[in-house]
Amino acid sequence: MTTTAPGRFGVYGGRYVPETLMANLIALEAAFEDARRDAAFLAEFQSTLAHFVGRPTPLYHAQRLSQVYGGQVYLKREDLTHTGAHKINNAVGQALLAKRLGKRRIVAETGAGQHGVATAAACARLGLECIVYMGALDCERQRPNVERMRLLGATVKPCDAGSRNLKVAINEAIRDWIANPDSTHYLIGSVVGPHPYPLMVREFQRVIGDEARAQFTRVAPRPDAVIACVGGGSNAMGIFAGFVDDPQVELFGVEAGGDGATTAATLNTGRPGVLHGALSYLLQDAEGQVLNTHSVAAGLDYPGVGPEHSFFKDTGRARYETVSDTEALAAFKETCALEGIIPAIESSHAVAFARRLLANRPGLRVIVNLSGRGDKDLPGLLAKGLV
C-alpha cells in the first residue's frame, strides 16, 4: 500500500476540516499509530473479531454460479459476520480505539444501515453512547436496520435535508462532531473523510483480504481477479489489501450505474474535488456543486469515494466498472436461486460484474467480496415490486 506523504495517496486525501477538529484528528492519528503497534490492543481486537464478530469468514466456492458464469467463482462470506456485513470489523476497531482515547460518546453515519447496526452493536458491547445519523430516504428503504439499531440501544436521527441519503447523514454527523469534539468520537464507516480515517478504516478492514489470500492458497497460488462493490469503498479496500502487492492479481471495483439517468459512479464520471474532509474523485457540476446520486443500493448512493481508490484509478492498479440497477437485481435473484444465499444489493453489483467479466474471459478464477447479506433490502425491494 503506497502513500506519498502522511495522509496522502498520491495527491488524494489530506485534512480539509474546520480548525476545531484538527486537534482531535491529530490525537486520533497518534492513538491509532500507537494502538496498531500495541500487542495488548491488537490481541483484544483479534479476540473480539474471533469471539464477537465470528471470524474468519469462509471463502465459499459458488459451484452453481461458476457453472453458469463460465469460470470459478469464490465468495468471501462477509455476510456471515455478526450483524451481517463487513462493517462490524471497522466498528469494533474504532470503538476500542475510542475507549482507549476516553471518548464515551460515539456518532456515526449510515446509508444501508449495516454500519449503523455494527456501530450500535460495538457500542452496546463496550457501554458507549451511540447516535446514528441516517438519511430519511434510507430510513424508509432500510426500516429493518433502523429497528435493529434502536433495539441495540442507539439513538437514530433521520436527516430530512436535501437528498435525504448518505451524503446528508455524513453532513449531520460532522456537525455533531464539530459541536462536541471533546466528548465524541466520529466512527466513520468507510475509507473516506480526513486523515487518518481512510488509512485507519482500511487497516481495520484488511482482515478480509488477509484471510481471503490465505484461504485461496489452498486452491491455487492466487486468484486471477478480486472483485468488490465500491460506494465509499471500505469492503473493496479491505479485500484489495490482501492482493494489492501481487501484480498478477487484477483488482476490480464496481460502482453503481443506477437507473441510466442518475448514477453514483464517482470514479467513472466524476472529477477530483473536496468532500467531507478529503480530496478525492467527486460527482460535481461545472461550478463544483455536489450532484444528486441514485442507486437501488443505499450503501452505494454516495457522490464521493475513498482517496486511495482515486489513487488506484489514476495509477491503474485497480479498474473501476459500473453495473446498473437492473443488472444488480438480476445478480441478486441469481445468487439466491443458484446458491441459497441472499446477498446485499450492494454486493450484487460485484456478482453482476463477475458474470460480465467471465462472459468475456471464461475460465478465470475470481473472488467476489460478498460484503453483506440482503435481509435488510427485501422489504424495500418487495414494496417496489423489484423481486
Q: Residue 109 catalytic? A: yes
Mean pLDDT of 294-303: 92
Q: At what angle do helices 87-101 and 19-35 cross, to 10 degrees?
A: 100
pLDDT-based confidence at residue 164 (cuts at 50, 70, 90): confident
Q: For residue 130, what are the β-bridge partners?
A: 106
Q: Which residues contact 39 (CB under 8 A, 6 or more apart)?
A: none
Asked if residue 6 has pLDDT above 90, the reply is no
pLDDT at 40 over 70: yes
User: What are the pLDDT digits (tens) for 9-34?
Assistant: 999 999 999 998 999 999 999 999 99
DSSP assignment of 178-219: HH-TTTEEE---SS-SSTTHHHHHHHHHTHHHHHHHHHHTTT
The string of pLDDT tens digits covering residues 86-127 is 999 999 999 999 999 999 999 999 987 899 999 999 999 999
Report whether 58 contacts 80 (CB < 8 A): yes
16-48+87-201 has which CATH code?
A: 3.40.50.1100
**What pLDDT, on the 0 to 100 scale, is given for residue 215?**
98
Q: Please, what is the average pLDDT of the chain?
A: 95
Tell me what the mean pLDDT of segment 149-173 comes to.
90
pLDDT of residue 4: 57
From the list 76, 87, 99, 376, the catalytic residue is 87
pLDDT digits (tens, 9 = 90+) for 166-222: 888 988 999 999 999 999 999 999 999 999 999 999 999 999 999 999 999 999 999
Q: Could you check whether 16-48+87-201 and 56-85+206-383 share the same CATH topology?
A: yes
Closest CA to 120 of 82, 69, 65: 82
At 300-353, the pLDDT tens digits run 989 999 999 999 999 999 999 999 999 999 999 999 999 999 999 999 999 999
Enter the CATH code of domain 56-85+206-383. Answer: 3.40.50.1100
* Contacts of 238 by beta carbon, 8 Å cutoff, 6+ apart: 86, 89, 202, 205, 206, 207, 208, 209, 369
Residue pair 306/312 in contact by the 8 Å Cβ criterion: no
Q: What's the pLDDT band for 49 if we cut at 50, 70, 90?
A: very high
Q: Could you tell me the residue ranges of all domains in the chain?
A: 16-48+87-201, 56-85+206-383
Q: Which of 339, 348, 371, 376 is catalytic?
A: 371
Position 5 pLDDT exceeds 90: no
pTM for this structure? 0.95
Active site residue 371: yes
DSSP 376: G
Q: What percent of the chain has pLDDT over 70?
A: 99
Active-site annotation holder among 29, 76, 78, 109: 109
